[in-house]
Amino acid sequence: MRKKSKPSDADMVGLLEGGGKKAKRMGRGELLGALGAEEFFVEGSIVINSRICHGVECRLCIKACPTNALFWRAGEIVLMEELCIYCGACVLSCIIDNCIKITRKRLTGEVETFSKPKDFLMQQSSLSARKRLERIRETFTSSEDYLNRKKKSKS
């Protein structure tokens, strides 16, 4: 007796094969949705330098990948780019600088490139600082507006 598949089940091979770029993009979205992963980047690329990778000895990037886009095959780390969401977890966990290089484009059009955990953390810190500043500006009035209101209330 054959088990019925749920609507949320995704046929990985079927979603990643076939049609053109648009069909692959739709399949990718469905596949990532089934995995519970969100895409925050419009596009991106990831390159693994197999000459300096110590994959067989550590495999930390494989363990860190939330979508299982990285896996071990024939003596090297392999990437299934269709599953990669360019989150940077692999770079953050890698023990060798410049082994994994990620380039990604945000919805705002900003392009980020990093290949060291330090660079990744600095970009995240900078992004968080910008978001905090925007929130403060939205919440509080500027000092000029405050002083102008004080002058008007005294008059």
Q: Are residues 73 and 113 in the same domain?
A: yes
Q: Are residues 64 and 113 in the same domain?
A: yes
List of residues 6+ apart from 63 with CB closer than 8 A: 93
pLDDT at 138: 86
Say if residues 102 and 86 touch (Cβ distance below 8 Å).
yes
Distance CA 66, CA 57 (A): 20
Q: First-to-last CA distance in the chain?
A: 86
Q: Are residues 55 and 32 in the same domain?
A: no
Q: What is the pLDDT of residues 79-137, one digit of tens each?
A: 988 889 999 999 999 999 999 999 999 888 999 999 999 999 999 999 999 999 999 88
pLDDT at 93: 93
User: Quick check: is 153 in a domain?
Assistant: no
Q: Are residues 45 and 109 in the same domain?
A: yes
Range of the domain at 118: 40-130
pLDDT at 16: 47
Sequence-ordered alpha helix ranges (H) in the chain: 12-16, 21-35, 60-64, 89-93, 117-139, 143-154
Nearest alpha-carbon partner for 64 in 120, 14, 122? 120
pLDDT at 4: 41
pLDDT band at 36 (very low <50, low <70, confident <90, very high): confident
Q: What percent of the chain has pLDDT over 90?
A: 40
